A and B are shown apart, each in its own frame.
Chain A
Amino acid sequence: MDTRFAPEDIAFRDEVRAFFDKAYDEELQARLANLDTFKDAVIDWQKRLYEQGWVAPNWPKEYGGPGWNHTQKFIFDSERAARGIRDVIPFGLQMVAPVIYTFGNDEQKARFLPRILSSDDWWCQGYSETGAGSDLASLKTKAELDGDEYVVNGAKIWTSYAQYADWIFCLVRTNSEGRKQEGISFLLIDMHSPGIKVNPIVSIDNHHSLNEVEFNDVRVPVANRIGEQDKGWTYAKALLAHERTTIAGVADSKRNFNEVRELAAAEVNGGKRLIDDPLFRKRLSDIEIELMALEFTELRVLATVAAGGAPGAESSLLKIKGTEMQQAVQELRMDLAAYYQGVLPTDLSPEQLGHAFGSAARQSYMYGRAATIYGGSNEVQKNIIAKAVLGL
């Protein structure tokens, strides 16, 4: 056991730092923060990563990954998060791409992977339905074969950024007989197809990132099916395990925690800095101790994966703890903001308002409630651990 960085790791870290310092400039940050320019700014940022060859740390080298070992991946992610740089939009690069390069055919790989890597296509995820949340396999969106096309009817919900998307990867029902998991297929659907309608959903942070996506007689070539018909659940499950490890967001929580610690040193109550308040200190250290453990839990899982293991039930542990810690840090930041957490976005400047971060703290806290629900609710993750790890 040895967790120290080797000299070549230090050199790599310096290289990563130099890149972020140069490429993640202020102009880009301003465009990312503005909802009107958000989409273009995200694509712009991901293209800068792509040109550097670093946009897909987990992809195999043959498809455009950088070929990093897990220490390098850890360094890259830590440095990214430490600067408050959001991770890439996961749906293409981190979610559908592994399915395509693992289960897709050569034609699909050649057609889709390069445009995912270069962020020329924006992807979204069509899994949940109103009646199929935790019980995902009960999904009803139907795909019926008609010649060399499927005809898709139904609706998906909670689809993040569907309003921007060029493509959606969907779980659809192709067979209603037998076990419900055995009649599902995995389709890649062009969002510009006739018969697709995107209905916005405003969430409790007052933003629109979620959507319902309706399919009315949408025709999808059979060539867009991943793997075999009715076997989509197998591919989806592999994807879900990947999704869970990325959802944990440990490096981001660590960064957010450090920010809260700095804010607590600046916020004063009754002439006393909050960081000197024994109750607040206890809350801080409770969280930091859990994060210290979680960081190493994540490293242990990554090491297992690097050694050739698949992210199995351990990814559920990461998902549960990771999302709990995200929410704990978000809550702390909001408590720091006191009543200013309530302020709705306004034209008033922080100087006019009397406070700088309350509104943003609330938005991340409110939307952060989703993290224990999406990607398989934490309750479902506990069931997975109980069954797969504990044998209950």
Chain B
Amino acid sequence: MNFDFTEEQTMLRDSVARYVQDSYDFETRRKIADSDAGISREHWRTFAELGWLSVPFAEEFGGFGGNHVDTMVVMEELGKGLVLEPYLASVLLFGGLLQRSDNGPLQGEYIPRVIEGSCLGAFAYLERQSRFELTDIKTRAESAGDAYTLNGEKVAVFNGANADTLIVSARTAGGQSDREGISLFLLPADAAGVTVTPYGMMDGQRVANIVLENVSVPAGNRLGAEGDGMALMEPVVRDAILALCAEALGIMAQLNAKTLEYTKTRKQFGVAIGSFQALQHRMVDTFMAYEQTKSLLYRAVCEVEEGADTAASTVHALKVQVDKAGRQVFGEAIQLHGGMGLTDELDIGHFAKRLMMINTTFGNADHHQAAFNAARYG
């Protein structure tokens, strides 16, 4: 048993960390967030050149063949820079679904393009009514000969404003919340009958509502067996949760470090405020919250990587921990920064907003705690 990174993982971590530090400072990030697209194609190309977009893909597709630890290492460092480019949406969700499917032709066509950064993908799974239930789907796909006709609406699609290609979940059978009967389809975002309505989120993301009106998709663009979409979605979403939690850990590290630094330099009553015992104890608490989160993240990543029976419930536990620790860490960061923590100018609030958004992605703490309870206590 060891908790060391391999040499390759250390190099990967250093590569992302150095880039974020040297080329993706907060002012650069603000300019990208304020731009029309909300992401930078130039940075994305560099990510591709540095090989980061290939990390989770198998070597047969031109990938790096990385495992969950490799993805974790990348996401943690991207989190430290609040990187806006759609690593989660395009590489881990869109690419992840493709990789886990058995659709050879689509894999051959799209995965290399995801890796080189020329294809920006998105996974449209949420609907107005679905909240945190992946299976709550009203969008329908009717089979007609060698094509399907899709009708429905997806909301808050990550990277929906910039994606050129979508994977959409739709019902080919079953009732609104049935596990069975969900199928996944790949289609161009500009296909006839697709209407994309973009809007911004507090963490800088450009999402979109996507209406599908009699959209025709060739049968060959279905990922996985008809009606068996959950078998693909579940592991990909689980991996995405691990990645988001790694990103959250990177953000917590930044918030704790910045707050600690501030309390050492900010003087009131003639001394640094960090000399007050009441504040020291609270910073010790946020430090411990960070360490506990890191431990649970490592535990979850290892259990998933090793295929442990408890992996699913440990991922639920991790999401609860990230939510709880995240609120504590950003709450203290804002409070201890005083008025400065309330400004849009300082990065503290932006880290907080990203943590808040992570908490609501793929189920909030209550959702995962209920799932954990069900898994552990029946």
A370 at the interface (CB under 8 A from B): yes
Contacts of B268 in A (CB 8 A): 132-135, 138
Given contacts A271-B177, A279-B366, contact A379 B339 (CB under 8 A): no
16 A-B pairs whose Cβ atoms sit less than 8 Å apart in the complex: A133-B338, A134-B268, A157-B339, A203-B344, A268-B131, A269-B133, A338-B131, A342-B205, A342-B357, A342-B360, A343-B201, A344-B200, A354-B209, A367-B342, A369-B331, A373-B338
Contacts of B353 in A (CB 8 A): 204, 342, 366
A346 at the interface (CB under 8 A from B): yes
Q: In the complex the two chains form, what is the Cα distance from A354 to B341 in whole Å?
A: 31
Contacts of A268 in B (CB 8 A): 129, 131
Query: Interface extent on A, as a size class?
Result: 35 or more
Given contacts A342-B205, A342-B356, A352-B209, contact A269 B131 (CB under 8 A): yes
Q: In the complex the two chains form, what is the Cα distance from A342 to B268 in whole Å?
A: 35
Inter-subunit contact B338/A203 (CB<8 Å): no
A158 at the interface (CB under 8 A from B): yes
A316 at the interface (CB under 8 A from B): no
B364 at the interface (CB under 8 A from A): yes
Question: How many contacting A-B pairs (Cβ < 8 A)?
Answer: 136
Smallest Cβ distance from A190 to chain B, in angstroms? 25
B128 at the interface (CB under 8 A from A): yes
Inter-subunit contact A369/B199 (CB<8 Å): no
Interface residues of B in 339-377 (CB under 8 A from A): 339, 341-345, 349, 352-353, 356-357, 360-361, 364, 366-367, 369-370
Given contacts A270-B177, A335-B366, A338-B131, contact A201 B343 (CB under 8 A): yes
Smallest Cβ distance from B254 to chain A, in angstroms? 16
Given contacts A203-B342, A269-B132, contact A369 B197 (CB under 8 A): no
Q: In the complex the two chains form, what is the Cα distance from A76 to B361 in whole Å?
A: 42
Smallest Cβ distance from B101 to chain A, in angstroms? 26
Inter-subunit contact A339/B342 (CB<8 Å): no
Q: In the complex the two chains form, what is the Cα distance from A343 to B268 in whole Å?
A: 37
CB nearest neighbor in A for B339: A158
Inter-subunit contact A354/B155 (CB<8 Å): yes
From B205, B279, B339, B364, give the contact of A128 (CB < 8 A): B339
Contacts of A131 in B (CB 8 A): 267
Contacts of A157 in B (CB 8 A): 339
Q: In the complex the two chains form, what is the Cα distance from A352 to B210 in whole Å?
A: 11
Interface string of B6-50 (1 = CB under 8 A from A): 000000000000000000000000000000000000000000000
CB nearest neighbor in A for B158: A339
Inter-subunit contact B202/A342 (CB<8 Å): yes
Smallest Cβ distance from A180 to chain B, in angstroms? 10
B106 at the interface (CB under 8 A from A): no
Contacts of A161 in B (CB 8 A): none
Inter-subunit contact A341/B356 (CB<8 Å): yes
Inter-subunit contact B199/A353 (CB<8 Å): yes
Q: In the complex the two chains form, what is the Cα distance from A157 to B132 in whole Å?
A: 42
B126 at the interface (CB under 8 A from A): yes
With most chain B CB atoms within 10 A of its CB, the pick from A131, A335, A346 is A335
Interface residues of A in 178-207 (CB under 8 A from B): 201-204, 206
Instruction: List 7 additional contacts besides A269-B132, A343-B202; criterion CB under 8 Å.
Output: A204-B341, A204-B343, A206-B344, A268-B129, A342-B357, A355-B128, A379-B278
A267 at the interface (CB under 8 A from B): yes
Interface string of B316-327 (1 = CB under 8 A from A): 000000000001
Q: In the complex the two chains form, what is the Cα distance from A344 to B128 in whole Å?
A: 17
B182 at the interface (CB under 8 A from A): no
With most chain A CB atoms within 10 A of its CB, the pick from B343, B352, B366 is B366
Interface residues of A in 268-293 (CB under 8 A from B): 268-271, 277, 279-280, 283
Contacts of A204 in B (CB 8 A): 334, 341-344, 349, 352-353
A-B interface, 8 closest residue pairs, ranked by CB to CB distance from nearest: A204-B349, A135-B268, A342-B201, A354-B128, A344-B200, A202-B344, A269-B131, A339-B360
Interface residues of B in 196-221 (CB under 8 A from A): 197, 199-203, 205, 209
Given contacts A269-B132, A344-B202, A366-B349, contact A338 B360 (CB under 8 A): yes
A372 at the interface (CB under 8 A from B): yes
A377 at the interface (CB under 8 A from B): yes
Q: In the complex the two chains form, what is the Cα distance from A56 to B372 in whole Å?
A: 53
CB nearest neighbor in B for A203: B342
Given contacts A353-B209, A373-B339, contact A343 B344 (CB under 8 A): no
Inter-subunit contact B334/A369 (CB<8 Å): yes
Interface residues of B in 180-205 (CB under 8 A from A): 197, 199-203, 205
Contacts of B366 in A (CB 8 A): 277, 279-280, 283, 335
Q: In the complex the two chains form, what is the Cα distance from A319 to B29 in whole Å?
A: 37
Q: In the complex the two chains form, what is the Cα distance from A283 to B334 in whole Å?
A: 23
Smallest Cβ distance from A117 to chain B, in angstroms? 30
A6 at the interface (CB under 8 A from B): no
A348 at the interface (CB under 8 A from B): yes
